[in-house]
A and B are shown apart, each in its own frame.
Chain A
């Protein structure tokens, strides 16, 4: 039953939502519209002259091979982060769900990484894997593995993916664990009596029942990889070496703040906005239809 509160005059409900609206407007709509406005303009590096150029910034972007490279980098990065993150956290959740003794300790420990801010996680990984002083690099060197993210693009990508996955795994884990625990035990028992072994039970019963959760997490993780990993990248590779870990959101920052190309940077952020809006629409559409059995 929906409860509706009836106000006698109109101003009170507006006044009550006004703070939220104000915050939304000042911190979301206004910057977004600024970005949209700047994306149509060309500005010199010192902000002295501004010129309206229409869609020229966008046109330049899609002719720019750096930008297209960044797109590809982002695609690789987000597929890896979402894929590995979801697979790993599903595995951990399935394991944690089977643990009886000390389950609380396991679960608490698995949730901890989420309490670490992205930038701090980045710094942690940068130190652990630092080519000259990092403990992990030292061990790897002992095994004869030459691994240096400061000069090798692939190594750098591996580093940021690891840090991003590690930071996000708790979130995915919590959702998967809740999903697993909401599957009635008798379903698994019925499948066992029907003759399905553990693997078959997982793929034919458990996984299909978790698929709404998995899809939700897929969207959340892609959004996370697109935007939430800025801190990790900035604290470790800063997009380098060269541009091998320069994902779209980092390029927006780099072009706008460091290269002072306000128009191009704004055009990029408008494209990012469109992507995130599309992802959100997909998610809401799907969840409305498919979330409950």
Chain B
């Protein structure tokens, strides 16, 4: 196994630059999630690591080998695709054995590895089936099996859970975590789903428009977003950003609490209430004529009604951003 180094990685298609210099050192065995909205360049970055896209500038190293000019097959990586990319004319067994046969492993070794992966992924009884005879979750597992049997240095996942229904996604998320604990292989996981990112990542890269906005552990990113983009991309509903004294004041909805009008730090003009059971989301705008929309997450017992809602927040939960650059300025 090996770590991965991204050193000022650039990508451009002709004149159009889509990745503007991403740098990161990924330790051996780390699970890294690349998070961002669609079109931010996250899949492109992953595909550059895989060798499916040419690296326009900078360096990518796997272990201590710079792989810029290596073919995908020589990079010792395995990839799980969003649409699984199973070979439709081959059985589950052959799908998993394909890469091993090409590498010329002895038959007994291939069989041992496939059986082991099938055991881990509970695919034992489906080995003779064709992919079309499997459910979405099973196909997903075969795709993972195909990656596992190769025993590569790095796993690359390109939104592998986005074609599954909500329940299966939660289940597969758990299986991915236990798989990573078990194998300890360095993994890069691309997603646009912040819940996947928060739950799976040891560290994550939040990308926007081809730039890494922030790199850090999920809770660290959540607690100290580096930019307004990160602040509003992570968290649901997103962080409230309120213009104040020429700066942007950031407060997460769950850090707002109702209070007496006399000690109010903000007064929300509530116009929408969403009771979720465990808590209540209230939306509105700020009373003093400013148009900024704000949201607050209140305890289910809180008195939520349309009209004026005085709220306060603890000073340690306050974030400040520069409105011009969007960068965090404190605390």
Task: Give me the interface of A with B, judged by CB distance under 8 Å.
Answer: 184, 186-187, 189-197, 200, 204-205, 208-209, 293
Say whether B81 faces chain A, with CB atoms less than 8 Å apart.
yes
The 9 tightest CB contacts between A and B, nearest first, are: A194-B99, A186-B85, A195-B73, A190-B85, A293-B88, A195-B102, A186-B81, A193-B72, A208-B89
CA of A197 to CA of B73 in the docked complex: distance in angstroms?
9
B83 neighbours in A (Cβ, 8 Å): 184, 186
**Closest residue of chain B to A204, judged by CB?**
B98
8 A Cβ contacts from B67-118 to A: 71-73, 77-79, 81-83, 85, 87-89, 98-99, 102-103
* CB contact between A191 and one of B51, B98, B132, B150 (< 8 Å): that residue: B98
Cross-chain pairs A/B with CB under 8 angstroms, 22 sampled: A184-B85, A186-B82, A187-B87, A189-B79, A189-B85, A190-B81, A190-B85, A190-B87, A190-B146, A191-B98, A192-B51, A192-B52, A192-B73, A193-B51, A193-B78, A193-B99, A194-B150, A196-B102, A197-B73, A208-B89, A293-B130, A293-B132
Say whether B50 faces chain A, with CB atoms less than 8 Å apart.
yes
- CB of A196 within 8 A of CB of B73, answer yes
A293 neighbours in B (Cβ, 8 Å): 88-89, 130, 132
8 A Cβ contacts from B18-51 to A: 50-51
B99 neighbours in A (Cβ, 8 Å): 193-195
CA of A34 to CA of B87 in the docked complex: distance in angstroms?
51
CA of A208 to CA of B83 in the docked complex: distance in angstroms?
20
- CB of A193 within 8 A of CB of B88, answer no
8 A Cβ contacts from B141-189 to A: 146, 150
Write the nearest CB–CB distance from A90 to chain B, whole angstroms: 17
Q: Number of contacts between A and B (CB, 8 Å)?
A: 59
CA of A46 to CA of B99 in the docked complex: distance in angstroms?
73
A187 neighbours in B (Cβ, 8 Å): 85, 87
Write the nearest CB–CB distance from B143 to chain A, whole angstroms: 9
Write the nearest CB–CB distance from B54 to chain A, whole angstroms: 14
- CB of A205 within 8 A of CB of B72, answer no
- CB of B79 within 8 A of CB of A200, answer no
Given A200-B102, A293-B132, check contact A193 B87 (CB 8 Å).
Answer: no
Considering residues B71, B82, B102, which has the most beta carbons from chain A within 10 angstroms of its beta carbon?
B102
A193 neighbours in B (Cβ, 8 Å): 50-52, 72-73, 77-79, 99
- CB of B81 within 8 A of CB of A194, answer no
CA of A205 to CA of B85 in the docked complex: distance in angstroms?
11
Considering residues A189, A190, A191, A196, which has the most beta carbons from chain B within 10 angstroms of its beta carbon?
A190
User: A186-B81, A187-B85, A195-B102 given. 16 additional CB < 8 A pairs?
Assistant: A186-B82, A186-B83, A190-B85, A191-B87, A192-B73, A193-B52, A193-B78, A194-B99, A194-B146, A195-B73, A208-B89, A209-B88, A209-B89, A293-B88, A293-B130, A293-B132
Write the nearest CB–CB distance from A262 to chain B, whole angstroms: 51
CA of A192 to CA of B77 in the docked complex: distance in angstroms?
11
CA of A190 to CA of B142 in the docked complex: distance in angstroms?
13
Given A200-B102, A293-B132, check contact A192 B71 (CB 8 Å).
Answer: yes
A184 neighbours in B (Cβ, 8 Å): 83, 85
